[in-house]
Amino acid sequence: MGNHQKKQISLLICLYISIILPLYANDFLFTSINTSHGLSDNQIRYILQLPDGRMVFTTNGNINLYDGIHFSYLHRTDKNVYPLKQYDGFYRIYQSGDSLLWVKDYHKLMGINLYKEEYIRDLESYFQNKNIPEPIENLFADCAGHIWILTDHKLQELQTGIHITLSPNDTRQLQDLNTENDSLYLFYNTGEVDCYDMTSRKRLYSAAAYAETEQQYFARTSLVVKAPNSFYQLRNGYKGGLFCFNTCQRTWKKILEENYALNTLIITPDNQKAYITCVHGFWILDLTKEKLQYIPILETKNGQRLSTEISTIFQDRQGGLWIGTLNRGLLYYHPSMHKLTQINRNNFPVAPEKDIAVESFAEDNKGCLLYTSPSPRD
């Protein structure tokens, strides 16, 4: 026999189901991306995708731009920060067209010019050039990417100049807004939504998500995401809650209530699922069946099982799911990944100098796999 001739090897291999199938019903298996891969730090605050396909990851101090191979960074200084009097919510990023990002943090606003890949240095002058000389109290973006500016009891859309005058006697705090057709929806800290006609600029109606006695439980933060004929709203206070407002029926529905904060909400582009992140793992809501599934443990492709707080979550245009954790960097999953598990010679009890060639497989009634290799040739 020559040096590369093979001896027959017949082995019985009992492969645990966990080698081939994911451990959990959610069928997720994540790839980890952290500082060892170039991320500036492992505390992820927000994720989005730019029109050119690059990913944006905001960490505790920097903006990370990622093209799939390389990272580049935008570093913030105090000179880039504009004070936001009314914003005391979580970290948010809005995209306006192809060129601008708006970053909100607790009582802070920052603007980023993506063409130049730098922060806007003087936001006060920027807004004055847009005919907004008054101090800005808050900034929002609707589902079309239009920027709305809140000044003293006045709400103005930056591009068209459409403005809504709010009552000076209204003590509620405006926390979020969005649009549908010709209607503008304003979401307040009381759990109420006011609907305005953008043509007449008159308020049409108001609807409350819960009774006044429950306002204290959900009054602190709001995150609103558009869906067909509805808005899903994540609210936090002493509790965390997920609510849905039906714009046709003008009614609210409580979907989820927990005694901990719910961090981020996204809806998939096909409007089939919603993902809600929290202190341990995340929730999946089937929007068609209205069923919830809780995923407390995440598994990576190298076998790690993680129980960690998920700060944010995002689905890119290629179908990939990005998870930003509080202190473990990024986790990435795509449905086409990890469908096959490689089993190499390290899994077989043979000497290092022996070659292995597999000819066929069989499975017994216990779920064990058997394989055969070719007989040696003279």
Q: Could you report the per-residue pLDDT of 33-69, keeping only the tens digit for each?
A: 999 999 999 999 999 998 889 999 999 878 999 999 9
Q: What is the pLDDT of residue 373?
A: 64
Q: What is the pLDDT of residue 89?
A: 85
Residue 18 lies in a domain: yes
Give the chain's mean pLDDT. Answer: 86
Q: Provide the pLDDT confidence category of residue 21 given band limits of 50, 70 and 90.
A: very low
Q: Provide the pLDDT confidence category of residue 226 given band limits of 50, 70 and 90.
A: very high
Residue 71 lies in a domain: no
Record the pTM. 0.81
CB 154 within 8 A of CB 174: no
Look at the chain and report how many structural domains it folds into: 1
**Mean local confidence (pLDDT), 122-144:** 93
Q: What is the pLDDT of residue 4?
A: 43
β pairing state of 282-286 and 291-295? antiparallel
Q: Could you report the per-residue pLDDT of 306-348, keeping only the tens digit for each?
A: 889 999 999 999 999 999 999 999 999 998 875 555 566 666 6
Which one is predicted more confidently, 13 or 357?
A: 357
Q: Could you report the per-residue pLDDT of 73-102, keeping only the tens digit for each?
A: 998 888 889 999 889 888 899 988 768 999
Rounded-to-integer distance, Cα 186 and Cα 167, Å: 13
Q: What is the pLDDT of residue 61?
A: 74
CB 186 within 8 A of CB 204: no
β pairing state of 174-180 and 44-49? unpaired
Residue 233 lies in a domain: no
Residue 279 lies in a domain: no
Grouping H, G, I as helix, E, B as strand and the rest as coil, residue 72 is: strand
Residue 378 lies in a domain: yes
Domain membership of residue 376 as a residue range: 1-26+344-378
Residue 17 lies in a domain: yes
Residue 4 lies in a domain: yes
Q: Provide the pLDDT confidence category of residue 115 given band limits of 50, 70 and 90.
A: confident
Q: What is the pLDDT of residue 288?
A: 92
